[in-house]
Amino acid sequence: MKKYITVFVLFFFAFGFSQKQEPVYILFNQNETASCQFPVKRVEPVKKIKLDYSQKRHRKINITRFILCRNIFVFEFKKNHFETVDGSVVAGYKMITLDEMISREEEEKFTKNINQLFPKIYIIEAIENGQYAKYEVVWEKLQ
């Protein structure tokens, strides 16, 4: 009986406290262009082109698209989380670039869904007086 309890406790700790992937934070500035090496051919060797482009679009009511290079990050007001955070909080976030995200996808040989690789993605945008908008987004991957 003690063996079963020990095994149960081990499984509980192994799965109950398993480490989740850290959220990914991308700094967005509509006044600057984003640069990235965009993969055109997704087989070895990967062929890339350099792109410079960023834009924020409000499509339908309550949907905002952040476009970086050819990558679209979608924020839906009813589905995704939004909050305003102070600059001191943002300073603690580990920002990542789009190139780093694409390189991670490349390491996985483009076999995983991009939202499985990065389950929590946040776009951070400066608004005013040291405040930032924090949008939870979903990466809408173009093929």
The predicted-structure confidence for 73-129, as pLDDT tens digits, reads as follows 999 988 999 999 999 999 999 999 888 988 888 888 777 777 888 999 999 999 989
Q: Which residue has the tokens 């005013």?
A: 128
Q: Which two tokens stand for residue 16?
A: 């109950």
Which pLDDT score is estimated for 140? 87
Q: Which two tokens stand for residue 28?
A: 């967005």
Cβ–Cβ < 8 Å for 53, 65: no
Cβ–Cβ < 8 Å for 84, 132: yes
Question: What pTM was estimated for this model as a whole?
Answer: 0.75
Cβ–Cβ < 8 Å for 96, 120: no
Q: Which phi and psi (to 5°) does residue 140 adopt? A: -95, 100
